[in-house]
């Protein structure tokens, strides 16, 4: 980052961001058979619909004048999407996507993290027979194909932005990474995998590894920890593993109850979402989130997420960026 110089000025950056979002959304819909829907910015507190991420993040909340109820700004739409598929009557192997905006007040800001989050949130109905690793991998390949197609469009419009992604994405589990790199931290393992493959889907996140620790935290009530993962790219600008998506086949009744028990969160079975899932009222699904600013940052060869989104930054982050020639929006 010492020698960083943005390849695009701010005017071209804004146009390029628009192109990334337009092209990728179109390719994603085409590859996964998705339709765009509107989504909530906030949900009722205590509804069980808000995603609690790693279980410690505090949602932004406010009281509603007319009802006296407390609303929470969403962290993500993992649970809401599944209920929406049922409510809107989506057919088998069709799904939805939406532009999800969130505020994560407890995020520690740096090159990759902001208190403002923007994602393409998507969810698709599947059969019980689709709840396999093979189906998960095929879906990942479809998403990665959309990333490659978008990268080619960006390079065509801005030749200075050469695409250095491999043609195919690789797959590795957190257990395999632990076996291969037992003395490294999870993030160091991700670096080695990303550097080796260029693009990799790191599978099976949420459960405990052989050493008793987790590779990373996952809420127990949306992804099946045996059928999920992160799409991680090697970021050449920053020399780091760069996550653009967290996704997975969602919990069914058995995996939900098992994971709630493992995390001592069995009290959640009182919530409407969980009751519907346990009773079989909700469809089986696969889904995830793909960072809009993250993907823009990667494809436009930016060194800081603040170059592709507007947010509020700590003074130390502002000074650091200024020292390295990074222009925050």
Residues annotated catalytic, as ranges: 51, 104, 119, 230, 243, 246
In DSSP terms, 289 is beta-bridged to: 121, 246
How far apart are alpha carbons 189 and 143 in whole angstroms?
23
Burial class (CB in 10 A: 0-12, 13-18, 19+), 5: exposed
Q: Where are the alpha helices (DSSP H) in the chain?
A: 10-32, 78-87, 133-157, 174-180, 186-197, 253-262, 272-279, 292-299, 315-323
Query: The tokens of 142 are what?
Result: 């479809």
Cβ–Cβ < 8 Å for 268, 219: no
Please report, for residues 228, 251, 255, 269, the alpha-carbon distance to residue 277 in angstroms, rounded to integers and kept in the order given.
18, 9, 11, 9
DSSP string, 175-215: HHHHHH-TTS-HHHHHHHHHHHHSEEEEE--SSB-TTS-BS
User: What does residue 318 show for φ and ψ, rounded to 5 degrees?
Assistant: -60, -45
* 50: nearest Cα among 83, 27, 2, 5: 83
How far apart are alpha carbons 198 and 119 in whole angstroms?
22
Cβ–Cβ < 8 Å for 140, 93: no
Tokens 């407890």 correspond to what residue? Answer: 106
């Amino acid at each position: 980052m010492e020698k960083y110089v943005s390849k695009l000025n701010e005017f071209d950056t804004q146009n390029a961001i628009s192109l990334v979002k337009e092209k990728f959304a179109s390719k994603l819909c085409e590859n996964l058979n998705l339709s765009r829907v509107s989504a909530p910015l906030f949900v009722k507190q205590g509804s069980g619909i808000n995603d609690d991420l790693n279980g410690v993040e505090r949602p932004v909340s406010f009281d509603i004048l007319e009802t006296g109820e407390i609303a929470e700004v969403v962290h993500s739409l993992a649970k809401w999407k599944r209920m929406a598929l049922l409510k809107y009557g989506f057919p088998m192997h069709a799904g939805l996507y939406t532009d999800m905006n969130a505020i994560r007040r407890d995020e520690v800001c740096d090159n990759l993290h902001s208190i403002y989050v923007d994602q393409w949130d998507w969810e698709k109905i599947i059969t019980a027979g689709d709840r396999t690793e093979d189906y998960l991998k095929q879906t990942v390949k479809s998403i990665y194909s959309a990333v490659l197609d978008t990268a080619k469009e960006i390079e065509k419009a801005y030749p200075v932005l050469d695409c250095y992604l491999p043609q195919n994405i690789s797959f590795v589990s957190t257990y395999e990474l632990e076996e291969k790199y037992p003395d490294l931290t999870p993030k160091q393992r991700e670096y080695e995998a990303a550097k080796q493959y260029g693009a990799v889907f790191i599978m099976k996140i949420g459960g405990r590894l052989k050493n008793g620790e987790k590779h990373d935290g996952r809420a127990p009530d949306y992804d099946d920890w045996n059928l999920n993962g992160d799409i991680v790219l090697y970021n050449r600008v920053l020399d780091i593993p760069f996550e653009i998506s967290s996704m997975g086949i969602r919990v069914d009744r058995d995996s939900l109850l098992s994971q709630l028990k493992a995390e001592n969160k069995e009290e959640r079975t009182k919530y409407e979402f969980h009751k519907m899932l346990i009773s079989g009222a909700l469809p089986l699904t696969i889904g995830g989130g793909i960072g809009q600013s993250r993907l823009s940052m990667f494809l436009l060869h930016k060194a800081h997420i603040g170059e592709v989104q507007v947010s509020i930054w700590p003074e130390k982050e502002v000074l650091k960026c200024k020292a390295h020639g990074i222009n925050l929006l």
